[in-house]
Amino acid sequence: MRNLLILTVLGTSTLMAEWPQYRGPNKDGTTAGRIATSWPVAGPKTEWRVKTPNGFSSITVSDERAFTFVTREGRETLVALDVETGRELWATAMTPADYGHNGGNAGARGNQGGDGARSTPSVDGGRVYALSADLVLLCVVAKTGQKVWQRNIIAEFGGAPIKWKNAASPLLDGDLVYVGGGGTGQSLIALNKVDGKVAWKTGTETITHATPIVADIHGVRQVIFFTQSGLISLESVTGKLLWKQPFKFAVSTAASPVVEGSLVFCSAGYGVGGGCFRVDHKEGKWTTDEVWRIPGNAHVANHWSTPVVKNGHLYGLFGFKKYGDGPLKCVELATGKIKWEQEGFGAGNVILVDGNVLALTDFGEVVLAKATPEGYREMARAKAVGGKCWSTPTTSGGRVFVRSTTEAVCLNVDPKVARR
């Protein structure tokens, strides 16, 4: 019994030490893993620093390997790095790094600084799942990069590329991997993660740049896609339609929905703004009702930064094209009321680590702040990388991983050693 208990504890510890897909081990941007809450004046120790030319892909971590996309010889390239050293273990070239419309390197001065893959690889069961800008889904062996299977969503499911092409990451849950991008009657797709065979396909909705999520609402596991017509919720295993919530689309929607209990928040830039909806399930019927809706770019719009939620409050980098100075905000989920905001973060991203907000600014600073509606309370801050950061910070085993359009770093924030 004692040995079994030890194995159970070790197994739990191992799971907590990984960040296997875009939204983390819990698929909602949160982790119970701990990091130091006080850092040296000079910043945490840098374990390694490597070049990551062009890309907004975040870093995922599993089984002592880190995975991300870079751009090499004009192609999106999936790379595997040794977590301890940053040494490249293997690389697999995928589709051309061509995003049209000058992609993420166009527009305002603060938007300059490189382009590249937006999608983040997912890892499970010793395999890596990578979705390219051209919607090619590749499954490879995590240790070697050897191809297991591949599906071309556009060619095989009658899809078409959207403006700036795909930015969503493959979502893993149970035995399935979820992607969008197909055509009529098959725009939303679940594939068996072992062999890539179709588990179900449904819908005619056009995808956005937002990664789908899974959530348990009223005891039912469901996958929620944020499409150009709005939110679409499907029973995760069967693909059965549960509910729909119309939501305005304009140009691009890139932030994923956020769920707490029966409340679902979603938002977008380009004047769309944000809203909160209540999902009910009575006598076998699913319904949605608008709780609040605030249009415009100033209040609760997310360009591509998905907020996190804790105890009825959203924490995220709200704003539209406020490069370099956009605020971190705390927003009451039930009302849309802003509890506080702190400027100086820009169009970066956030996660929730052991109940605290970990933010990556769009100019490469990592900031740790209390997740409390009482006011902005900064705990630690450090400059981590140069270049442009539209990726999400991730954490695993007492380390924080961040990357930009030029480089990636691994910071030692283990509570046992970070302050030495």
The predicted pLDDT at position 304 comes to 87
d(CA 51, CA 59): 13
Into how many domains does the chain fold?
Answer: 2
* Same-domain status, 35 and 64: no
Flag whether 390 is in a domain: yes
- For the purposes of burial, counting CB atoms within 10 Å of the CB of 77, is it exposed (0-12), middle (13-18) or buried (19 or more)? buried
* Same-domain status, 50 and 66: no
**Coil vs helix vs strand at 96:** strand
Question: What is the extent of the structural domain holding 397?
Answer: 29-56+304-420
Flag whether 328 is in a domain: yes
The predicted pLDDT at position 17 comes to 64
What six digits make up the tokens of 120?
């983040």
Flag whether 17 is in a domain: no
Domain end residue (candidates: 176, 204, 232): 204
* Same-domain status, 35 and 140: no
**Coil vs helix vs strand at 250:** coil
Pick from 261, 255, 300, 253: nearest CA to 277: 261
Positive or negative, the CA dihedral 61, 207, 322, 72 is: positive
The predicted pLDDT at position 43 comes to 94
Flag whether 288 is in a domain: no
d(CA 212, CA 85): 32
* Same-domain status, 335 and 380: yes
* Same-domain status, 104 and 158: yes
d(CA 176, CA 157): 17
Q: Report DSSP state, residue 319.
A: B
The predicted pLDDT at position 11 comes to 40
* Same-domain status, 185 and 310: no
* Same-domain status, 67 and 184: yes
Contacts of 407 (CB under 8 A, 6+ apart): 49, 50, 51, 52, 385, 386, 387
The predicted pLDDT at position 14 comes to 36
List C-alpha distances in Å: 258 to 90, 224, 262, 344.
34, 10, 11, 24
* Same-domain status, 354 and 311: yes
The predicted pLDDT at position 15 comes to 38
Please write down the long-range contacts of 140-145, taking CB distance under 8 Å and 24 or more positions apart: 140/78, 140/92, 142/62, 142/63, 142/65, 142/67, 142/80, 143/65, 143/89, 144/90, 145/78, 145/80, 145/89, 145/90, 145/91, 145/92
pLDDT along the chain (420 residues), means of 10: 44 60 98 95 96 96 98 97 98 93 56 78 99 98 98 98 95 99 98 99 97 98 98 99 96 96 97 98 97 96 94 96 89 98 95 98 96 98 94 97 97 78
Flag whether 379 is in a domain: yes
The predicted pLDDT at position 104 comes to 59
* Same-domain status, 317 and 355: yes
Flag whether 1 is in a domain: no
* Same-domain status, 62 and 33: no
Flag whether 271 is in a domain: no
- Helix H or strand E segment including 16: helix 2-16
What CATH number should be reported for the domain holding residue 339?
2.40.128.630
Total count of residues recorded for the chain: 420
* Same-domain status, 119 and 102: yes
* Same-domain status, 124 and 85: yes
The predicted pLDDT at position 226 comes to 98
Flag whether 233 is in a domain: no
What six digits make up the tokens of 300?
């609760």
d(CA 119, CA 353): 22
